[in-house]
Structure 1
Amino acid sequence: MQRPSIQAEDVLHHFLGISRALAGQLDFQSMIEAISREVCFILPHDHLDVSLLLHGGQHLHAFETGLHTSWGDFAELSMPTAHSPIRAVLLGEVAFLLSGDAMNDPRFAFPEAFNRPIFNAQLRSRLHVPLRARGEIIGALSCSKHAAHFYTLDDVRHTQHIADLLASYLYALRQTEQATKLAVAEERLRAREEGLRLGASRLTDTLENERQRIGMDLHDQTLADLTRLHRRLARLRKQGSLSGDDLQPVCDGLQESMQELRGIIDAVKPTVLQLFGLEEGLEDLLLRSVHNSGLRIRTKLQDHSGGAANRLAEAQQIALLRIIQEAVNNAIKHARPRAIRIDIRAEGGQLALSVTDDGVGLGEAGARETGGIGNMRIRAQLLGARLELGPGSGGRGTCVSVSLPQHALASVPAEEVPLP
């Protein structure tokens, strides 16, 4: 195809135009769109794209203008460099690629080559040159036309000049973007660490209050009962009367004290969970909580996870049980429900446990985020889980759900999860 020649002065003018177009462009997509018009005077094209190498050259991002193709999807995602149809340029195996008809060029048709856009957009004439900065290839500049045999060796020289002009800017933009992402990641990490530190501090205070409560229960209830029984036995010994009828109240009192002590011990460390797993521990918790309330509440527990919850580390199981315990106790205390159910599910990469009741709903208590809800949020945060509160089925009652990514189930050692 005969093309009108372009004068050297015009080439220089448009090179300067490219430099002006680059000024102030802070992202790759805006940059390539800004330079496309100036490039078109030197290198007419129907499609222009820039490929930038990532991760030591193993992957790349692609930014395009003109025609939109599926290569443009790799502006957000990344393509393995080995699948790029221009990998020979990106890997430095050739100085450039010039094709008169890429749709019939075997260089673009190797196994696993992502070359569909060439055929879908009918990009016959193709020209590719490397982008070099600091002595290394950082990507490639590509021009394409629908017409076959459009580009010549003279165009290769012009394209390489444009690539050299762009490379330093693209390198600086890439370094800036990576530094920005790193700074954002570090800031998020600091924020997360600070949140965990504050959460751990609040949980420590809560646990200290719980220890004090347990101490008071032991002092005011169990110790007082044992002292009373000791005095009764001492009085019976002085009287010289130790018949069966006299000892029966003492035996009954000891039985009650032992039962109360077992309740306190179970509250500190759930033995059913340790012996039989989280599912049995949750069912025991649900039954005991309802029984101790004296209320008539229907209960149900269903495990749809195939036993996934029982495969958690013990510390993770205990942390989840404490969250569910708080949710059940809140429902019994505040919601006046007729039924409470616990569901365990493993789907969408998440292990989720939910407590649903048919009571009065969250109301103002939920809006205020009471201490119990706050404690649940802290425990979930320290576990790396997500806690959600909302209405139950059909908008009635309350549903409390805690979900943990399944990839974290095996990756978080027990000693890293704070024991309540």
Structure 2
Amino acid sequence: MRQEANENQEVSEPTALVSLLRISSHLAGQVEIRAALRSVKAEIENLLPIDHLDVCLVDDKNTWNTSYEVGMKTRWSLSRTPVAISPVRSILLGETDYMLTGNAMEDERYTYEGALAQPIIKHKLRSRVNVAMKVLGRTIGALNCSSCTADIYDEATVVRVRQIADVLAPYFYSLRANEKAKRAAVVRAEAQAREEGLRQGALELTRVLEQERQRIGMDLHDQTLADLTRIMRDVEKMDTASDKARVIGSIQHCIGDLRRIIDTAVPTILDLFGFAHALRIHLERAVEDVSSTFLEAADETDGLIDTLDPTIRIALFRIAQEAINNAARHSGADQISVSVKRVKSGLQMTIRDNGKGLPGSRLGRHTSKATGGIAHMRTRARLIAADFGMSSKEGTTITVKLPMTCAPCQETAPHTGEEELA
């Protein structure tokens, strides 16, 4: 039987030379390893019978190997694997130049304990010939030919496969180097993009913070400083108890303004009482007539909002503050609500009011502040990778969608094992 099989695979030297030249010509136009292997499969089949053909290429430290297959697709090409568990580790580690067997299913060199030999058993790859692929004397991988028929290869087959490996090795080495260069270029480009994004984000954050400082300064100048100046003049004219009471009332009002500004600058309530409670307090402070305005702040995340990274949570709180201030001061709304809930993509915060929206025809001082506030909200959302949306139909609705990647990690479903490949 073995003799008959060997006779069937005999190929004349002129025919073999032509096939080797064709293999070289097929490789000349290839730029990707798997495509290159597919392009030469038919010519290799002209030289020897194969049911499975693959190439293993090792990394520079001979620690990991990557398999490229044609024909059957097995677990070998599913992912990188350690050289230590490869059935051809002896070749990849430079201990031998080739391996030959008539039945790899029973050969302990291929099926030793811990070896990734499942494809050999599953697909009954009995006859195997494996030859080192070398460049400048260094082993870069192995060319592996397999057949489901037992005892079909011999020493003459090894010589033929070595000839093929010698043709393939320099091409595959170059293609692998090209792949590594492309991956390195992509990594560099991504790193540069991230660095530029961080730089632009930092510049934008600096600009927004400066605007915030200017706004706080204007609030102090327009409200608190003016009030204190007026109180000082009243004190100079104060004669009666009624005057004293009026001055005390003015001082209390001034203190209230200062507290609002401080709360805006340092949201300590957020840390002490949580997101929803802090928003309820801000709603009550922002609205002049609490008794005639419907106010609502709802946390539908079961407290998930308070487990976010502090920077992200404060950014969401600032956006809600700005939206509430716009609704309370500029829209004439008597209903303002804020809700936070889980959605499929992450978390969503929604601020609604039934006011008149932002007028577009006359841009007075208040409207300018409101539209500037929208720009601040958009910037804050962008800095935490959140989507910002606004609708002015039947009042104003602002939505901020925070992707799940920014939320705390949730437990994933347990892994059920590697998928069986055909």
TM-score > 0.5 by shorter chain: yes
Deviations 1:324-369 (A, max 9, x none): 5456667877897764312479x9xx9x543135679xx999xxxx
- Cα distance in 2, alignment partners of residues 94 and 334 from structure 1: 82
Deviations 1:7-62 (A, max 9, x none): 11111111101100101111011000001111112222111011122363332221
- Cα distance in 1, alignment partners of residues 84 and 380 from structure 2: 45
Instruction: Give 1:121 deviation, angstroms.
Output: 1.5
- Cα distance in 2, alignment partners of residues 193 and 334 from structure 1: 40
- Cα distance in 2, alignment partners of residues 111 and 329 from structure 1: 70
Instruction: Give 1:172 deviation, angstroms.
Output: 1.1
- Structure 1 partner of 2:417: none
- Cα distance in 2, alignment partners of residues 405 and 373 from structure 1: 25
- Cα distance in 2, alignment partners of residues 184 and 399 from structure 1: 34
- Structure 2 partner of 1:27: 32
1:266 paired with 2:263, answer: yes
Deviations 1:242-296 (A, max 9, x none): x3x43222222111111111111121221224x53xx714530354136514541
- Structure 2 partner of 1:51: 56
Of 104-113 and 249-258, more deviation after overlay is shown by 104-113
- Cα distance in 1, alignment partners of residues 171 and 374 from structure 2: 52
2:339 corresponds to which of 338, 341, 353? 341
- Structure 1 partner of 2:400: 400
Q: How does 1:3-22 map to 2 (within 5 A)?
A: 3-4=6-7, 5-22=10-27
- Cα distance in 2, alignment partners of residues 26 and 344 from structure 1: 46
Pick closer, same or farther for the CA change 1:256–1:328 going to 2, 3 Å.
Answer: closer
| RMSD between aligned residues | 3.5
* Aligned residue pair count: 381
- Cα distance in 2, alignment partners of residues 330 and 142 from structure 1: 71
Q: How does 1:346-385 map to 2 (within 5 A)?
A: 352-356=346-350, 375=376, 378-379=379-380, 382=383, 385=384
Pick closer, same or farther for the CA change 1:380–1:39 going to 2, 3 Å.
Answer: farther
Instruction: Give 1:173 deviation, angstroms.
Output: 0.9
1:298 paired with 2:296, answer: yes
Instruction: Give 1:223 deviation, angstroms.
Output: 0.6
Unaligned runs of 5+ in 2: 360-370, 410-422
SS at match of 1:297: strand
Q: Give the aligned residue type for 1:341.
A: S
Pick closer, same or farther for the CA change 1:121–1:319 going to 2, 3 Å.
Answer: same
Pick closer, same or farther for the CA change 1:89–1:202 going to 2, 3 Å.
Answer: same
- Structure 1 partner of 2:246: 249
1:388 paired with 2:387, answer: yes
Pick closer, same or farther for the CA change 1:358–1:282 going to 2, 3 Å.
Answer: closer
Q: TM-score, normalised by structure 2?
A: 0.78
Deviations 1:81-137 (A, max 9, x none): 233222222222332221211122222223332222112221111111222224432
- Cα distance in 2, alignment partners of residues 334 and 65 from structure 1: 67
- Cα distance in 2, alignment partners of residues 326 and 101 from structure 1: 75
Instruction: Give 1:377 deviation, angstroms.
Output: 5.7
Q: How does 1:14-163 map to 2 (within 5 A)?
A: 14-54=19-59, 56-74=61-79, 78-163=80-165
Contact 2:88–2:110, Cα closer than 8 Å, also in 1: yes
Contact 2:339–2:350, Cα closer than 8 Å, also in 1: yes
Instruction: Give 1:68 deviation, angstroms.
Output: 2.5
Pick closer, same or farther for the CA change 1:289–1:129 going to 2, 3 Å.
Answer: farther
- Structure 2 partner of 1:284: 278
Contact 1:28–1:63, Cα closer than 8 Å, also in 2: yes
SS at match of 2:294: coil
1:215 paired with 2:213, answer: no
Instruction: Give 1:299 deviation, angstroms.
Output: 1.9
Contact 1:129–1:160, Cα closer than 8 Å, also in 2: yes
Deviations 1:200-226 (A, max 9, x none): 323322222222111111001011111
SS at match of 1:106: coil
SS at match of 1:341: strand
SS at match of 1:263: helix
Of 204-213 and 289-298, more deviation after overlay is shown by 289-298
SS at match of 1:192: helix
Unaligned runs of 5+ in 1: 410-420
Instruction: Give 1:404 deviation, angstroms.
Output: 6.2
Instruction: Give 1:196 deviation, angstroms.
Output: 2.8
- Structure 1 partner of 2:412: none
- Cα distance in 2, alignment partners of residues 390 and 227 from structure 1: 42
Pick closer, same or farther for the CA change 1:143–1:299 going to 2, 3 Å.
Answer: same
Identity %: 36
Q: Give the aligned residue type for 2:257.
A: E
- Cα distance in 2, alignment partners of residues 82 and 374 from structure 1: 57
SS at match of 2:386: strand
- Structure 2 partner of 1:417: none
Instruction: Give 1:192 deviation, angstroms.
Output: 2.8
- Cα distance in 1, alignment partners of residues 311 and 193 from structure 2: 25
- Cα distance in 2, alignment partners of residues 364 and 64 from structure 1: 63
Pick closer, same or farther for the CA change 1:371–1:212 going to 2, 3 Å.
Answer: closer
Q: Give the aligned residue type for 1:355.
A: M
Pick closer, same or farther for the CA change 1:390–1:307 going to 2, 3 Å.
Answer: closer
- Cα distance in 1, alignment partners of residues 232 and 210 from structure 2: 31
Pick closer, same or farther for the CA change 1:69–1:269 going to 2, 3 Å.
Answer: same
Instruction: Give 1:315 deviation, angstroms.
Output: 4.4
- Cα distance in 1, alignment partners of residues 65 and 325 from structure 2: 53
Q: TM-score, normalised by structure 1?
A: 0.78
